Amino acid sequence: MDEDDLFNDIPAPAPQPPAPIAHRPIPVTQRGPFGRLMNENFLQFASYSICDRALPTAEDGLKPVQRRILHAMWEKDDGRFSKVAGVVGNAMHYHPHGDAAIKDAIVTLANKRYLIQGQGNFGNIFTGDDAAAGRYIECRLTKLAKEQLFSPKVTAFVPSYDGRNQEPVLLPSKLPLCLMLGVDGIAVGLSTSILPHNFNELLEAEIAILQKKPFRVLPDFLTGGVMDASEYDDGRGSVRVRARIEERKGEKNKLFITSVPWGVTTGRLAESIEKVIKSKRLPIRHIDDFTAEQVEIELTLVPGTDTEKLRKALYAFTECERKISSRIVVLNNNRPCEMTVSELLERDVELLQAILKAEFEVRLREIDDLLIRKTLEALFIEKRIYKRIEEVKTAEAVSAEIRAGFAPYHAIVGRDLTDDDIEMLLKIPIRRISLYDINRHNEEMNALRTEAGEIRENLAHLGRYAVKYLKGVLREYGKDYPRLTEITDGFQEIDERALTATELTLKYTDDHYVGHDVKQGQALFPCSSLDKLFFLWSDGRYKFIPPPDKLLVDAVWGADTDWLDALRPRAPIRYFTAGIYQRDEVFTCVYYEPTYGFTYIKRFTWGGMILNKEYNLIPEGATVLLFCKGTPEAIYVKFKPLKLQRITQQIFDPEEARVVSASAKGIQMTPKQIERISLRKPQWWNDAEGLTKGALFP
């Protein structure tokens, strides 16, 4: 459709009936009456949900329910507030859905401020509280909406769903409503997420487009906050929004949250903070929510808390920071398409000029009609043509006399008289004829000619007039819509693990419990609640778990020590060790396998893992003799004394063993029985026997 014809009052073409099902090629999987029924109905449903429910149009930026609500309100508008329930009833004449959906759409539009002014309890966008029932609240169109959305003379209408009323195909909106309001919608196979933008910045961007200057617009949210839009990518990316967290003079050990990210309520934010407090990642004693007209959440801190570190933790672990994605999918010429912010604004500018042109052309036609009408009236009165009908008896004769009277002035009128012209002249009252003022008539004619000249000048320079028009709208309404969301060049990246690296301390108790929540016990090592820990027992069993509150290990802690009393190598002594899981970190393990009495060594990495699943590092029945992180420089071994045995001690180089997976078998280290083993040169090492290097057998 040509843009000049978008808003012409032309009836919509009648929909063409679909081709008979029997004449269409049907896939094999859809043959049969049920397949055809499902295929047809699903396509109709998908088309309806995309074009008539979920997606806004690029032309006026509205979904069908919003357009119908605004049209119904404009029809009944008298400048006063009306019950929302009444507005819902009026809108139901156009919208083929339930009253609840219409009421919700009215509340949403009212909370966005631009188009509908509410009176009463319309809910709270900060707390998420619902609006009151429609019978208790009132609304009316804003002045901005009445001036910028409606122009029936250039609007195309079609019958409503029941054929009883006429509804607009599109509203001739002179505002970029899609980007002003922000839209979310989900249809069959399509979704849209258009973020709201600032009113002033959008109109300034349109002016820049008309003047062929560069521009950039960024989202602006009613909930305020601080925004990093470095990844916005003209509406194809995302933004990150943070709540404002501030300190106040005289308020010791307290922080105050004074805004929330878009889409997050204060209740949801408080719940996310409480959840993290329970995991002991936030040193906060309690939360008080005093939100009413403005966001006010008070956090009472544990004395001595580092507020800067806590602020970072709130952004890292709670809803104080949120990433919001943008994907602009709209109906452009009744077809769904994905656009950028720039493309949508350029489309809005084209449509603004098309609407202004259509309105000017309508007004020119009206001025032409007024000029002709006033010329006819002047000639009728000044030339006393009305005198010619004083003696005439029939209507046909009256018309003939008037046409005869105007015949000498055909060049002045410019066309023949019509029956409507004659009817208009005959309705002129006698008082008006007797009080006719030729000077006033000339002034009115000159004013109309001047107006027509100005319109033709504006039509000749439509872009220049559009700039002037937008600047006028900015002057009148711009002060009412300041930017609410602060823009920052970028957020400093927060290392979540650095914030929580030492927040927990794993402890071991005498009754064989391990955890960060045990009251007393031996401190093993600090860790983060974000870490995954490995636990390894001396019989080779191991598993990966989050830091436990309290876990029964039924074994003795044996980190960085020889895992056994080497005098009892075959006993299944239940030592255990634990550490922080790193996928590619190298470990060294020496184990004794009793089937043939051999000792093996392997270097390995954990690789991938499944939480809480039990694995085996060594063959069943074997016993871990040594386990350590990394690759030691040497392993010192003393063998069990045997008759005629000449070599009683050896040193091995673990580097000779290649790194394998945790499930792989180790390589043979020695067939002799080991009495003692150590990573460092021990006291029992006999230097007099010399340094005998052991060989590994792949």
What is residue 46's predicted lDDT score, i.e. its pLDDT?
A: 62
Q: How many domains does the chain have?
A: 4
Same domain, 430 and 512: no
Terminus-to-terminus CA distance in the chain, angstroms? Answer: 78
Please write the tens of the pLDDT for every residue from 329-356.
Answer: 998 888 888 999 999 999 999 999 999 9
3-state secondary structure of 455: helix
What is residue 467's predicted lDDT score, i.e. its pLDDT?
A: 96
The candidate with the shortest Cα–Cα distance to 576, out of 561, 566, 588, 597, is 561
Same domain, 476 and 505: no
Same domain, 282 and 389: no
What is residue 95's predicted lDDT score, i.e. its pLDDT?
A: 87
Give CA–CA dist 177/56, Å, rounded: 10
Residue 577 lies in a domain: yes
Asked if 470 contacts 207 with a C-beta cutoff of 8 angstroms, the reply is yes
Asked if 150 contacts 74 with a C-beta cutoff of 8 angstroms, the reply is yes
Asked if 615 contacts 662 with a C-beta cutoff of 8 angstroms, the reply is yes
Residue 236 lies in a domain: no
Residue 135 lies in a domain: yes
CATH number of the domain where residue 262 is located: 3.30.1360.40
What residues pair up with 322 in beta bridges, in sequence order?
241
What is residue 24's predicted lDDT score, i.e. its pLDDT?
A: 44
The boundaries of the domain holding residue 431 are 345-480
Q: Nearest 5 degrees, angle CA 206-CA 208-CA 214?
A: 125
Please write the tens of the pLDDT for every residue from 263-300.
Answer: 999 999 999 999 888 877 788 999 999 998 899 999 99
What is residue 558's predicted lDDT score, i.e. its pLDDT?
A: 75
What is residue 251's predicted lDDT score, i.e. its pLDDT?
A: 87
Does the active-site annotation cover 136?
yes
Residue 100 lies in a domain: yes
Conformation bin of residue 20: beta by default, left when phi > 0, alpha when psi is -120 to 50: beta
Task: Answer with the one of 181, 203, 225 that is the final residue of a domain.
Answer: 203
Same domain, 469 and 598: no
Give CA–CA dist 436/337, Å, rounded: 60
Query: Which residue numbers in the chain have pLDDT < 50?
Result: 1-26, 28-29, 564-570
What is residue 688's predicted lDDT score, i.e. its pLDDT?
A: 82
CATH number of the domain where residue 42 is located: 3.90.199.10
Same domain, 454 and 577: no
| Active-site annotation holder among 136, 481, 513, 581 | 136
Residue 369 lies in a domain: yes
The candidate with the shortest Cα–Cα distance to 358, out of 532, 155, 560, 521, is 155
Q: What's the pTM value of the predicted model, to 2 decimals?
A: 0.74
Same domain, 47 and 187: yes
Same domain, 656 and 569: yes
Residue matched to tokens 């028009």: 469
Instruction: Give the tokens for residue 575.
Output: 């030592």
Residue 65 lies in a domain: yes
Same domain, 252 and 161: no
Task: Answer with the one of 203, 229, 255 that is the final residue of a domain.
Answer: 203
Same domain, 572 and 669: yes
Same domain, 663 and 627: yes
Same domain, 526 and 656: yes
What residues pair up with 246 in beta bridges, in sequence order?
256
Same domain, 437 and 525: no
Residue 222 lies in a domain: no
Residue 351 lies in a domain: yes
What is residue 501's predicted lDDT score, i.e. its pLDDT?
A: 57
